[in-house]
Structure 1
Amino acid sequence: MADETRQSKLASAKKKLKEYQQKNTPLVNTGTKKKRKVKEESGQDSLSNDRHSPDNIKDLLKVLVSDLSHSNGVALPSLDRNQGSAPGGDLNENSEENKPLSSTESLRQLSQQLNGLLSQSSSPYINGDSAIMPTNEKELETRNQELAAALDSSTLENTQLSAKIDELTKQTQDLTDQLSKERKDFEQKFIKDQAAMREQLQVHIQTIGILVSDKSELQTALSHTQQAARQKSGEVEELSSRFQASRQRVAELERTLSSVSSQQKQHEKYSKDLEKERDSLKIEVYRLNKIYEEVKQESSELSEQLRLRLLENSTMKMNIDELNKKLEMADLMIQQFSSQSQSPDASQQLHMAMEEKIQLESQMSQLMESIEKLKAERDQYAMQIQEDGKIWKQRTEQLISQVKALSEEKENSLTQIQELEALVLELQNRPVTMLSQESAVQAAPQERGHTEEETNALGEQVRALQQEKDDIGVQLQTQIRDNEQLSRLCQEQEDRLLELERTVQRFNDENVDRQQILEDMQSDKATISRALAQNRELKEQLAELQNGFVKLTNENLELTNGLQSEQHVKKELVKKMSKLQEDLHEVKEQMEVKVAEAKTLHDQRDQYFTHLQQYTTAYQQLAIEREDLHKQYLIQTQLMDRLHHEEVQGKAQLEISQQELQQAKDNLARLSMENEELKEELGKRENVNLSTLPRDQGDGVESSTVSEGKQNSQIIIPEDFESREEMVAFLTSTLSQLQRERDEIALQLKEQKRQHQAAIQQAVHLRSEQQLHTMAVTDASGSTVPIEIHEALRTSMEKLQARFIEMMQANVELKERVEELEHRCIQLSGETDTIGEYIALYQNQRAIMKQRHFEKEEYISRLAKEKEEMKVKLSELQNLVMQVVTERNEWYNKFLQSQQNPDLIAGNVESSISAERRIELNATDGGEMADISLMDENEVPPQSDEERKPHHQEDATTQQIMQLLQEIQNPQAGPSSFLGENPCVPFFYRLDEKDEIKIMVI
């Protein structure tokens, strides 16, 4: 278009020259009159004819200069000044009449025409007033040739500059294509990263659901959570300080790239330190394993010593049995000596038997002391073994075993009471039979009809015998009562001995279980320590991940700044291109500057490309690290699930143990009530026996009566315990009360034993007197004692001896039982302390877990809110960027149109440069072309309002974009920032199929 308009103007100029020639040709024939007419028609002042030709030549030269200037973007002027008001119509008419010609051809034609005019005008002026010298013609020809050469050179330079401008436009087009391609790739990466983030959000939502299900269980310990909250507040302050330190560190990383290598070196050093710590921990584990093996060997040695002690104990028991047998033989010998009344040395043999009995008792006491020593040593070894294996389950089992033992003792006591009732009935029936036999013996001599003297003598004998029989019956009743009590006590001692043997056997069986439990505890401790170490490692890795997020956000901001800088560089290129079009005189210098700037841009592009490659490699490494962190996070979640499962199992076991403790308490209460009932029944029975069978003769044997003034011990079990410590205290108090009752029973047993020994001595004395009395009666009357009475006395003495032996054994068993109960009390007191410690540890762990879950929920909710805000800001930013892109495309299209139509650019470029140096591509219509006058070339029309509106719109959009970028970079300035003092933007990244980084802001 510009070439066509230029050629049309040249054609119009040529036409006007022809008209001028036609007007000047009649001047040669007509003379001065026609010259005056030409002067009047041309509208010039009254000048001579010789001065018109140079003025016209000047006009033509000005037309040529305007053509040269217009070839570089300036409009051609019309030769007539009056035609400036309507240039459009003249252009259209001239374009229809004449065909376009090239600039060189038109100049040649003009030069030929000028030469013709000069040659034509020289002939009539020879005789006239002003003749032109041939030297002036030569100068004009040389001037014309110089102008033609200058015109050719300017055209060549103009073509070269246009070619360079085309190259620059191609480069800008390539850069815009590359920018659009990068933008599309960035959008694709953004969509893929958004999909990945959605998947991660689904995983987080599932984890949130699991955590919410556990939230209801963790609302019981508010006090512990408050303490944990205080601790966490301190940790938050520490974390804030760490965040500030990390921000400073990020700033340092933004300043220099060399710090990345230093950080890598630090990480390598840190990994080496961790490896060293791992090696040291391995050495410590090996040392602990050695210590554990040594402890195991010591426990095996102690178990072997315990086994040997048990063997010695069994041998001692065998010796005791042999001594008991010897004692029985001695008692039999005493009985034989007592029955043989005719032997003169019976008293001596009895005395020897008593001495042997005393010796045997002393030996038995020595053996008992040795047994007690062995038991003490056994208890010490047992204590050493039990101190290594104290756990809560064993305590509950011991309580249950005690309850079972009490129930068994109650059943045994019931059976003994029934047996004693049967014996009492039998003993009550025996005197009736004896009276019937005596009445039959008395009736036989009355039927024979003796004399009164014989009857009197027999009556006296009968009364004496009756009195002796009554005395023997009273002694028999007392002896029977004592024997019953002794038999009951001996039976109880036997039952307790059997129970102690069972407990020893069970204790031996439980030693293996204790060792297994100790191993399990140590393995659990090892797993807990590993879990804690993994938790610490995961915390450190999460901190590193957050630092990586901050780094990536900063790098993203750097990339955005780089894009903005590239856009700014492109805008500057557009400005420089417009300057090239505006300033033709400074084209060469500006082209050199642009070439230099293009080279720098290429260098910068290469540098950016290398930086992008480095960033891609770094991003790949970070992606690999993120995958490793994700795997470790999955492992941690599995460990957390396992710990939660173990916690649920612990709760179930705790409930079971509480139920068992409640059952044990109920059993204890029931057994205490039954014991009280049994004591009351025994007291009643003893009172009945004492009231029915009193001692008529003061034989020195005191009746053992139960003191009724003693307060009945009742164990009141409360329904609810406020804490486990209260429950343990209640159990210890009940055990101590039972121990006191046991001590009282042992004292009563000792008293009864003493009374029994006194009764035995009195029985022996009475027996010797009875034998002497019976011997005197038989010598006086010639009659004997009945055989039934003798057999009854003999059986009662045998029973008495058997009861005595059983009572001694029961005494030994009672002592062992007392020691065993004391040992169990010590165990219970130690285990209650460990129960409290385990409970406190468990509550602290639960409080810590609850606090962690609460922090996770809060952090996830905060991230969700920040993500929503960032989505809104990114959508606004995307809209504004699209608006800017559309505006830039419109300006670019206008710029292309202006490149195709350089004549449409008005002379208002200088004013646009001075007005805030905006980017203007001068999109004016073709009909608004300004005329260039030869007199007023510097006059510029004012800028229209329509040209200023897009600049204001572009300024508003750029301001909005910069404001959004500042809000994204500095979320503290926003009204609803959830990140506190951290101005970083969280985002994720990954590689696509083309090995390109895709960044996704949360």
Structure 2
Amino acid sequence: MADKAEKIAAARKKLKQYQSKQKQDSVPRGSEPSSARETPVPAQSSSSSSCFEDIQNQNHLPASSGPSSYGGPAVASYFNNGGGHGVADFFAMEPQVARPDVPQMEASVHSINRISDGIGQLIANASADLGPQNTILELESEKAELARTLNAQKLENDELRLRLRNNQSTVEELRNEIDKLRVENSTKVTSELGPIQEQLQMQTQAVGVMVGEKAELMGTVGKLQSLVKERANENDELQNRLKASRATVQKLEKEIESMKQSGSRFESLERTIGVQLNEFQEEANKFRKLYEDLQEDLGEHKQKLLVRNQEFQTVQKELEQTRSDLSLAKLRIEQLSSDDDLDFNAKIEALTQQNLIKAQQIKDLQEIIKQIGAERDQSNQQYQNYVLHLNKEVTNLADKIRELTEENNDLSSREGDLVRHVGELERQMQQQLSKEKKYAAQQQEEDKPVEAGDRQALEAEVKLLKEKVATMEVERAEYMKQNESVELLKRGYEDGLKAREEQIASLQLTVERLQQDKPDVARLMAEIDSGKVGASRAVAQNMELKAQL
């Protein structure tokens, strides 16, 4: 009993110490100035909102039980489990001061509730052990004191909630005011900068207009100065141009002489081309005659080849006949082996003579075939040489025609250059005449007439220039005629070249046809060889028969 009383006294001391500590912590909180609490801090908005949520959650905590609930079955079961465990649990329910995870306010409320529950349980246990004589009044007083402290804590929590709400409302108001100020500032800036920008644009445009006017004025001043200089130097320029026109006329005369020389050279070239064309025509006639002769020779050779083929066929038939006669002779020899020796000798000699005659005929046919093959090869070689010669002639003609076309193109380009040059001279002369007229009019206006001698000299020079231009036009017409004659000549060469190409194509076709129509020499030689073998066998058999006889 004494131990329990000591434990209760120690618990009371600890409770009083905790209450005094809580009061000391609550005094500086309540004594904070209102201005410091009401000023919004944006960086701590999240922490204040979390504290507000913790305080709201504190309202939902279970309320502490009244004095009537201390003597319930829960307290009896607590003390029935053992007194030592109850004291240990009481000290275990002592609030932890340095708890970083839970806020200080929430920890204080939880610790107060837990301490009140533990004290109620200890008081109930003590009242059950000591009796209701001395402890009821003390316990009731302590309970009332605990209730007061709890109410004070609740009031403090309510006050903190109100302050938090006020702070949040002030933060929202300040945010709204900041947004309004931003909008007002942006509208003010745009409204103030608009006219300033318009004024700046107008001023820049005015500066640009002034710069353009200045440039125009400077340009007009420069033009006037250049006009003054041009009017001062026009006379010198006209004299220089007159000298240049005289130099160009001399140059044109030299070019006309060179063109005359080139025209004479072109005429000589045309004559040489005509001579070469006549030579080519003579050669073409020769080749035509040669071609006709070759065709006649080819026809004769074809006829000879046909005759030889017929003779060869007759010889083959005779050879077959001799073979059959030889076989019949063998049979007769076998049948007439019992006849006289003289008759057999006569027959054998007759057969041997026939075999010799046939062998001689075969040799003659072989020589004829060889001769025909040599003639055919020779004719093919002649045709090939003729075709090669024609190809060379055609290439030479093509080269000459190409050279003539190049020369013609050169002459035509030179003629075009001369025509352009003459046109340029005419244009310069017209410009010079117009400038002279303008200059004369200006001099008349300025009462400075030109002398009659200078004017007559200028008119004479202009007439000379016109006459030279007319002569150049005549020469150009002559060159055009020569060009037309060259074109006609070139067309004639092209027609001759086409005719030669057609002749070459026809000759190639004839050569191909001859190559296709040539006889099969290999087959003929094989037949001749087979005839030789048959004749040699017949001779051998005759010799054997002679030996047997």
* Greater relative CO (CA pairs within 8 A, separation 6+): 1
Give the shorter-chain TM-score range: 0.3 to 0.5
**Greater Rg over alpha carbons, structure:** 2
Structure 1 or 2: more helix by fraction: 2
TM-score (norm 2): 0.41
TM-score (norm 1): 0.25
